[in-house]
Structure 1
Amino acid sequence: MKSLLSGLVATLCATTAHAGCMEAKAPCEVPMGSYHLALPADATEGAKLPALVFLHGAGGSGKGAMRMKTALERGYAVIGPNGLKRDGSRFGPGWSFHPDRPKTRDELAFLREVMDDATDKYGIDRENILLAGFSIGGSMVSYLACDAPDLARAYAPVAGGFWRPHPALDGCQGPVDLLHTHGWRDKTVPLEGRPLGGGRIYQGDVFVALQIWREVNNCDGMRADTFDTDGAFWRRKWDSCKNGSLEFALHQGAHGIPKGWADMTLDWFEALD
């Protein structure tokens, strides 16, 4: 009887924890950290769901990703991993993205844990994950795409990319499908980058990052092959890449996630071969 009661209590606790996680009332726990998760309202049991995994900016949390209603309405699970605060930092939670700075956590191992946990417990399609992020979350996405191109199906950094010194042209591990979005008026992470900490660290140049991605994907030319300026985003696409795909979307705003980003990015993701 005691064993049966213990089993019932364990099952009830697990069910409650999962429900709280899905409703963003409590984070889902994995050995290296935690994440928030929301499922589309019409998700059916046993269905394999595509997922948007979104990495927050400095001082944010994964709970903020739960506001991405567009993705949920389009049938995606939304997953918001939580960054960690670095010892001695005056900022809130962030990511150990810079290859030359001390690391608070192996972020690649952590995100593999998150994706595997969500796949096992919530029916996420592990082969259909879009990894995106804002500001330093976008920087984290860029470095993960460079170091582990098999982590996700595709990558979509927003207002964040590599930092100086940039990776070598041949320093990334393999081809990727990547859409970089940036604001023309961004002064926090300018297109050209800027020094921080009295010049101790430097943000990277978005156009150098695009050169790196062209090399990674073995694109034929330096300039883009197609251009689209009809909508809210000015888009440049390299169609000549022998591997992967590359696109750059520029908007008129400053440092932020622009209106229409989710629909544009999910349209791009769903059109990938």
Structure 2
Amino acid sequence: MLYLIGLGLCDLTDITVKGLEIVKKCEKVYLEHYTSVLYNVSDNIEKLEDFYSKKVLLADREMVESQSDEILDGSVDGDIAFLVVGDPLGATTHTDLILRAIQRGIKYKIVHNASIMNAVGCCGLQLYNFGETVSIPLWTENWKPSSFMDKILANKKRGLHTLCLLDIKVKEKSLEAMMKGKVAYEPPRFMKTNEAASQIIESFETLDQKEYDGVLDESSYCIGLARVGSDDQSIVRCGLSQMVNEDLGKPLHCLVIEGNLHPLEADMLALFTK
């Protein structure tokens, strides 16, 4: 049996009772380690191993996308746990893993948990007023895609909020090392809300002004959220241009672009407005 188990938002104790009981009985335990990380835990795998009383194997992007047979092979005659920060179905890669298991006749079970997709409601916005979620990638000097703006503008025109998931880079191969025939990895990078706001503002220059004029500008309100679910959670509401100068501290971060507000939403957001 292949178990896909959600770990919740940030703390090792956020796992459900059902999920913990399954982990403790599994022969092998894998932790997906590229779509998200557990705050203050993923960089100290020993904490998880002590909590589960199990060896935990880190599953990076290469393993999950190209070497999934290693995970599936053990699921044929035994129980394997595949742990995912948030909810197991928060990334399409995990759906692909399920389909591969089905193709091989391997049984699977999903143990759901909280994710940023629903916990974002902590800022006061009502979940059914959100439109399509977008991902904002970390830009480089020569690569600055802005296609995420299309969905933000489409949501905004409909009066809907937009949850922006911010890019993280974990175990990314160094291009410089690869050119020298070596294998080395870049230090982990986590996009912050101020960087995301800056990229959104810079993206205005790539858009047809008719598309966003009167819909979105530097003064449009956004909400920055950091470390949602933790004791030091941070929520700040301000204009996009002001968010560029806000530092919400350690990861993980996400950003929300406001749509039209219900009176109750406005009352809640007043608690976080700068």
With normalisation by structure 1, the TM-score equals: 0.28
Greater share of strand residues, 1 or 2? 1
Greater share of helix residues, 1 or 2? 2
With normalisation by structure 2, the TM-score equals: 0.28
